[in-house]
Structure formats: C-alpha cells, structure tokens
C-alpha cells in the first residue's frame, strides 16, 4: 500500500516538476501566436468552470492598450490568477511561469500551448522578444504565490527598462477563496482591478535600478489592493493617461457569472 502511494506521488510529481537540472529551450516549440488551446481555455473552459463557484467583478479594462507592447504585473494569491487574466484580457497574454514545470511532458506541453514561457534567464530574453513584437507579457513581480505583497523580483524592472512597454498594474483578490464547496454554499467573490499604465524611460538597467522600478510597480499594485507600500524608485515613472478613471466592467453583476473578455 505504501509502495503504491509512493508510486502515485512520484508520477504526480513528475507531471509538475522537471527531473533534469537544465532545460533544452531550443528543442521545444514556443507558441507566439494564439493557439486553439488558448482560445478554448480563455473563452470557454475558464468561464464555464468559474461560474458555479465565483462571482467576478472587473474594473479598468479600458487601461489596457489595444495594440503595442504591454506588461501585466499582478499580485499572485492562487494558481487561478493567470487563467483568470487570460479570460478577462481581450489580448493574448504570454505568462512567465515556474521554470521547473517546463520539460515535464503534459504540463509543459499545455503551458506552451497557452503561450507561457519559463521565468528564467532564457525566458527573460524571450519576453523581450515578445514585447519587441508588440505582444502582451504577464508577470507576477513577487515571483511566487503569496497572500501578502512581499519583496518584488527585479526581473519585472529589467523588462520594463529594456522594453519601454506600458506596464499595467493588476490587483487580484479572492481567487484563493474559490473551493469546490462554493458551488453548494455561497459563491466566492473575486475582484480584478487594472490600473492606469506606467511607462518607464527605456535605459540600460543595472541591478539597483531594476529593483527600484520593480518595487515601484509592486507599490502601484498595492495601492490598487488598498495595501500601500513605501517606494524607493527614482526617478518617478511617467504615467500615461488619466489616473482617476473608475469606470467598471460589471463582470457577473447581472448574470452572476464571469464576463469581461471580448
């Protein structure tokens, strides 16, 4: 019995974590264009699965540029966060994901179908190439799931400084409260708020500068969450567009489901 349990756990572990230390990035195919799997997941699977369990409200979708390079920078409470943003954002989002899940077989294939890439040194170069092509890249500045806003990784600052892309701070709350029992009791309440875009003057980033920019981006996420943080970024970012707009797309307010994707 114990042996069977160990074999089952080993099989599940191998689905999620790469056994080898290194990943041969060039051997794998990375999907830059929207795939059928992305459309199916974002437009059908996610809203269908969420509707019985959660009510989603969305604000600030109008802040996302319709064209050009964009970095979505969000807090990270739950594994659901990336899938939720895939559904809500009307453009294809390429997410930086946990590196050790690539090279695992089924999970690696599925994530690549969704346009994801590993958050490692190769992945940062790949993200810059996506931004250079005018695409949307999604990152979690904390680089891990955390119930609180902890320290930011300097990687998002490096992307911002090298690309000059518009950075959209995104505040997500409530995804960690979605459980199977919500379908039988009270549905969870999820809130997603997109803030006004930030634009940092492109420059050759050093570690100190990248970290300051990353801290400023996370601070803007904290403001949206109502958890203000002190900022050490200098100079202050150039903010494009109005900062006081509060028009909301009422995802789920009338139907009780999930909406917001064009």
35 close to 114: Cβ distance less than 8 angstroms? yes
Residue 104: its pLDDT value, please?
A: 66
- Which comes out higher in pLDDT, residue 228 or 126? 126
| Cα distance between residue 31 and residue 196, in whole Å | 29
C-alpha distance from residue 128 to each of 39, 91, 155, 209 (Å):
23, 17, 11, 18
For residue 76, being part of any structural domain is answered with yes
Q: Interior CA angle at 33 toward 30 and 39, to 5°? A: 110
For residue 131, being part of any structural domain is answered with yes
- Which comes out higher in pLDDT, residue 142 or 34? 34
pLDDT at 215 over 80: yes
For residue 13, being part of any structural domain is answered with no
Number of domains in the chain: 1
Question: How confident is the model over 91-108, as a mean pLDDT?
Answer: 85
Q: What is the pLDDT of residues 192-211, one digit of tens each?
A: 999 999 988 877 778 888 88
136 close to 94: Cβ distance less than 8 angstroms? yes
pLDDT at 240 over 80: no
Residue 11: its pLDDT value, please?
A: 41
For residue 50, being part of any structural domain is answered with yes
pLDDT at 254 over 70: no
65 close to 166: Cβ distance less than 8 angstroms? yes
For residue 239 the two structure tokens come to: 């903010």
Task: Print the domain residue range for 237.
Answer: 31-249
3-state per-residue secondary structure call for 57-109: EEECHHHCCCCCCEEEEECCCCCHHHHHHHHHCCCCEEEEECHHHCCCCHHHH
| Cα distance between residue 247 and residue 260, in whole Å | 13
| Cα distance between residue 40 and residue 78, in whole Å | 21
Residue 20: its pLDDT value, please?
A: 57
130 close to 137: Cβ distance less than 8 angstroms? yes
For residue 78, being part of any structural domain is answered with yes
| Cα distance between residue 82 and residue 170, in whole Å | 11
CATH of the domain at 68: 3.40.1130
Q: Which residues pair with 139 in a beta bridge?
A: 73
pLDDT at 214 over 50: yes
pLDDT at 107 over 60: yes
- Which comes out higher in pLDDT, residue 251 or 111? 111
For residue 209, being part of any structural domain is answered with yes
Tell me the pLDDT band of 234, cut-offs 50, 70 and 90.
very low
Q: What is the pLDDT of residues 35-85, one digit of tens each?
A: 999 999 999 999 998 888 888 999 999 999 999 999 999 998 888 899 999
For residue 232, being part of any structural domain is answered with yes
Among residues 52, 60, 49, 119, the alpha carbon closest in space to that of 87 is found at: 49
Residue 103: its pLDDT value, please?
A: 72
For residue 24, being part of any structural domain is answered with no
Residue 229: its pLDDT value, please?
A: 58
């Amino acid at each position: 019995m114990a042996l069977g349990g160990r074999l089952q756990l080993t099989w599940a572990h191998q689905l999620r974590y790469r056994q080898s230390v290194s990943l041969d990035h060039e051997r794998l195919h990375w999907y830059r264009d929207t795939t059928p799997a992305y459309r199916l997941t974002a437009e059908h699977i996610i809203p269908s699965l969420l509707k019985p369990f959660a009510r989603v409200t969305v604000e600030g979708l109008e802040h996302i540029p319709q064209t050009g390079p964009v970095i979505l920078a969000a807090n990270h409470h739950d594994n659901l966060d990336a899938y939720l943003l895939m559904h809500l954002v009307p453009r294809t989002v390429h997410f930086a994901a946990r590196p050790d899940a690539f090279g695992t077989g089924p999970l690696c294939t599925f994530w690549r179908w969704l346009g994801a890439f590993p958050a490692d040194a190769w992945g940062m170069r790949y993200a810059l190439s996506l931004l250079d092509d005018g695409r949307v890249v999604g990152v979690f500045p904390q680089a891990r799931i955390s119930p609180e806003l902890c320290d930011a990784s300097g990687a998002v600052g490096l992307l911002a400084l090298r690309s000059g892309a518009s950075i959209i701070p995104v505040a997500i709350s409530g995804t960690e409260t979605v459980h199977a029992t919500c379908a039988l009791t009270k549905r969870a309440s999820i809130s997603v708020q997109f803030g006004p875009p930030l634009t940092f003057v492109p420059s050759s980033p050093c570690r100190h500068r990248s970290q300051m920019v990353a801290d400023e981006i996370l601070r803007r996420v904290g403001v949206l969450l109502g958890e203000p943080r002190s900022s050490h970024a200098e100079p202050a970012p150039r903010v494009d567009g109005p900062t006081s707009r509060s028009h909301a797309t009422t995802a789920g307010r009338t139907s009780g489901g999930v909406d917001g994707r064009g």
